[in-house]
């Protein structure tokens, strides 16, 4: 007797189809609602277990070179040059001697992962620029990394925001090598690639050359939520 | 619908029959997919664990390999299903889909109620197959969102990252279990290399399938006998009247 494909032989059930579609369905729900689930799971696990288990609050460490540049605190230098009144080289002690700024803000990657409520501490970039003085005609900043490859840029207005800092502490401790220590940039209102690691130099310029990630297609003005042609909700 | 596997003749060692468990297409599909899984799992480690990354380096290259192995992941399966060469695979997928009442009971009791005459694949094997198929779909979908993120809202990207990571952990566990079972069941493992199992193996691990196959052989023998002994067509117009 011919059977239609949808009616199984006697006593048999299409369990396989249900299991398969169930997995795919849960996956689809996870894409849409996973951000919320992750917040719950992340705060339940904390940063200890959550740092290892998927779903917890964890950073993904991207490098564009083969290894992490390792710079000791005593050898660290930040050179500020270009259209400034006083080209200056800052040591880590110089930065520590300036008035500190602390904030607790999310780190949001453009590809989607997010670490909520990260503690940051450093010096406002605006204070650094005030220390060197800015010459007329300066409109933008270029940043270099000790990794020798990564570069970034900000407009002068963006750089003067109070939530843009030259950071030397994060997560309640001196910044580790894999997080870009001893000193990195933290641009709170923008996607993570703007917060260049292992900050080595700042050049004040009239027109900034787009940074490494921007040359690879990322937005130059990387406002979280307002970038890449999307109207994502701002996170903070 | 059941179809008997071809009788592969006698195993010279034991003088017993061999049964074809996986045909060439199925074996090729399995090993291509397994290779891609291995590449993906190996490259996932430095992408996820910064300690491993600092040993391996070359993140960009590792990420490229991971991405394109991921894109290729469903290809062997789709190619095998695309043509008449996939008949054996399609039949086995039907088996994995259809569960008998005792298999459903096994699932409902979480394995406490055993199965007297297992099918060609036991429910655990069926679940492994289904998980793998579902995982391929979900991992390719979430991976694509991470790769081509600009077409998706930020919340989806966060969700896709979450799903990709959690399911990756599940895949590592299930694959570890799969490999462990394979290594401790050499008869089953051999069938994924060479295609066949012995009749003794089938009696022990897939009695229901063996019975089905034997019925198939019987039917074939019968058909053969009938063909050989068919009476020439007569003018008798009433076939019902045949003795």
How far is residue B126's CA from residue B24's CA, in Å, rounded to a whole number? 20
Burial class (CB in 10 A: 0-12, 13-18, 19+), A35: buried
Question: Over the stretch A129-178, which tens digit does the pLDDT of each residue have?
Answer: 999 999 999 999 999 999 888 999 999 999 999 999 999 999 889 999 88
Report residue A178 as tokens. Answer: 């894999």
Q: Classify burial at A63, counting beta carbons within 10 Å of its beta carbon; exposed 0-12, middle 13-18, buried 19 or more.
A: buried
Token representation of residue A157: 């207005």
Mean pLDDT on A220-226: 78
Strand ranges of the sheet holding A88-91, from the earlier edge strand across to the other edge: A88-91, A77-82, A199-205, A140-145, A151-155
Higher pLDDT, B5 or A38: A38
Is the torsion defined by CA of A161, A162, A168, A174 positive or negative? negative
Can you give the pLDDT at residue B231? 57
Tell which of A26, A45, A54 to mutate to test the B interface (max B CBs under 10 Å): A54
What is the pLDDT, as a whole number, of residue B209? 93
Q: Do A232 and B137 touch (CB under 8 A)?
A: no
Report chain B residues whose CB lies below 8 A from the CB of A54: 162, 165-166, 168-169
pLDDT at A46 over 70: no
Q: What pLDDT shows up at residue B82?
A: 95
CB–CB of A30 and B162 under 8 A? Answer: yes
SS (H, E, C) B7-34: EEEEECCCCEEEEECCCHHHHHHHHHHH
Reference B22, options B204, B197, B213, B205; nearest CA is: B197
Give residue B239's pLDDT: 45
Distance of CA B98 to the CA centre of its chain: 14
- pLDDT score of A227: 46
Residue B111: its pLDDT value, please? 82
Query: Which of A20-29, A106-115, A224-233, B152-161 is modeled with the greatest confidence?
Result: A20-29
B57 with A67: Cβ contact below 8 A: yes
Which CA distances in Å does A62 have to A58, A175, B145, B164?
13, 15, 18, 17
> With an 8 Å Cβ cutoff, are B97 and A14 in contact?
yes
CA neighbor of A32 nearest in space, from B237, B160, B83: B160
Residue B126: closest C-alpha in chain A: A16
**Residues of chain B found within 8 Å of residue A15, distances taken between Cβ atoms:** 97-99, 103-104, 107, 126
Pairwise CB contact (< 8 Å): A112 & B154: yes
Nearest to A189 by CA among A155, A152, A229, A226: A226
Q: Mapping DSSP to helix (H, G, I), strand (E, B) and coil, where does residue A193 land?
A: helix
Instruction: Scan for tokens 């007569």, then name that residue.
Output: B234
* Contacting residues of B for A66, CB less than 8 Å apart: 57-58
Whether the pLDDT of residue A50 is over 60: the answer is: no
Report yes or no: A151 and A143 within 8 Å, Cβ to Cβ.
Answer: yes
Q: What is the pLDDT of residue B226?
A: 66
From B200's Cα to the closest Cα of chain A, the distance in A is 27
Whether residues A11 and B57 touch (CB distance < 8 A) is answered with: no
Asked if residue A32 has pLDDT above 80, the reply is yes
Confidence of residue A20 (pLDDT cuts 50, 70, 90): very high
Q: List chain A residues with CB under 8 Å of B158.
A: 34-35, 38, 112-114
Of A35, A59, A67, the CB nearest to B155: A35
As a whole-number percent, the residues of chain A with pLDDT over 70 amount to: 81
How far is CA B239 from its chain centroid? 45
Q: How far is Cα B155 from Cα A43, in angstroms, rounded to an integer?
A: 18
ipTM of the complex: 0.82
- Kindly report the nearest CA distance between residue B13 and chain A, in angstroms: 37
Minimal Cα–Cα distance from A119 to chain B, Å? 20
Q: Which residue on chain B is closest to A60 by alpha carbon?
A: B48
Q: CB-CB: which of A16, A30, A233 is closest to B159?
A: A30
Kindly report the number of other CB atoms within 10 A of residue A140's CB atom.
Answer: 20
| Average pLDDT of the residues of chain A | 84
Give the mean model confidence (pLDDT) for residues A207-231.
Answer: 73
pLDDT higher than 90, residue A123? yes
List chain B residues with pLDDT less than 50: 1-2, 233-234, 236-243
DSSP A8-50: PSTT-EEHHHHHHHHHHHHHHHHHHHHHHHHHHHHHHHHHHHT
């Amino acid at each position: 007797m011919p059977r239609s494909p949808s009616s199984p032989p006697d006593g048999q059930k299409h369990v396989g189809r249900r299991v398969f579609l169930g997995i795919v369905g849960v996956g689809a729900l996870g894409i849409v609602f996973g951000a919320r689930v992750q917040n719950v799971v992340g705060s339940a696990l904390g940063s200890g277990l959550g740092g290892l288990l998927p779903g917890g609050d964890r950073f993904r460490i991207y490098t564009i070179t083969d290894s992490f540049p390792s710079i000791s605190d005593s050898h660290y230098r930040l050179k500020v040059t270009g259209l400034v009144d006083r080209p200056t080289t800052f040591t880590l002690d110089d930065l520590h001697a300036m008035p500190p700024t602390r904030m607790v803000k999310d780190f949001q990657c453009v590809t989607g992962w997010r670490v909520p409520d990260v503690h940051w501490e450093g010096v406002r970039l605006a204070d650094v620029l005030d220390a060197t003085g800015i010459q007329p005609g300066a409109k933008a900043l270029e940043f270099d990394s000790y990794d020798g490859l990564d570069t970034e840029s900000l407009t002068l207005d963006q750089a003067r925001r109070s939530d843009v800092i030259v950071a030397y502490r994060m997560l309640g401790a001196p910044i580790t090598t894999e997080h870009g220590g001893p000193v990195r940039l933290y641009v709170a209102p923008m996607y993570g690639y703007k917060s260049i690691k292992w900050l080595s130099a700042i050049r004040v310029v009239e027109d900034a050359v787009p940074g490494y990630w921007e040359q690879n297609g990322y937005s130059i003005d990387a406002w979280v939520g307002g970038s890449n042609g999307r109207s994502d909700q701002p996170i903070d | 619908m059941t179809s008997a596997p071809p009788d592969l003749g006698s195993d010279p060692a034991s003088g017993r029959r061999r049964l074809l468990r996986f045909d060439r297409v199925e074996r090729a599909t399995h090993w291509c997919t397994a290779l891609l899984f291995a590449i993906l799992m190996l490259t996932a480690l430095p992408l996820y664990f910064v300690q491993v990354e600092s040993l391996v380096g070359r993140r960009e290259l590792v990420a490229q390999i991971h991405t394109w192995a991921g894109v290729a992941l469903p290809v062997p399966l789709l190619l095998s299903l695309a043509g008449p060469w996939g008949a054996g695979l399609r039949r086995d997928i039907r088996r994995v889909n259809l569960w008998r009442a005792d298999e459903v009971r096994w699932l409902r009791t979480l394995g406490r109620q055993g199965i007297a005459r297992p099918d060609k694949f036991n429910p655990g094997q069926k679940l492994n197959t289904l998980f793998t198929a579902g995982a391929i779909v979900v991992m390719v979908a979430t991976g694509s969102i991470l790769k081509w993120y600009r077409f998706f809202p930020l919340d989806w990207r966060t969700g896709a990252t979450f799903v990709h990571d959690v399911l990756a952990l599940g895949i590592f566990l299930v694959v570890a279990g799969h490999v462990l079972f394979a290594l401790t069941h050499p008869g089953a493992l051999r069938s994924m290399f060479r295609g066949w199992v012995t009749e003794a193996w089938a009696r022990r691990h897939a009695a229901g399938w063996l019975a089905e196959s034997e019925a198939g052989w019987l039917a074939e023998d019968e058909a053969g006998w009938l063909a050989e002994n068919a009476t020439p067509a007569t003018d008798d117009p009433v076939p019902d009247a045949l003795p």
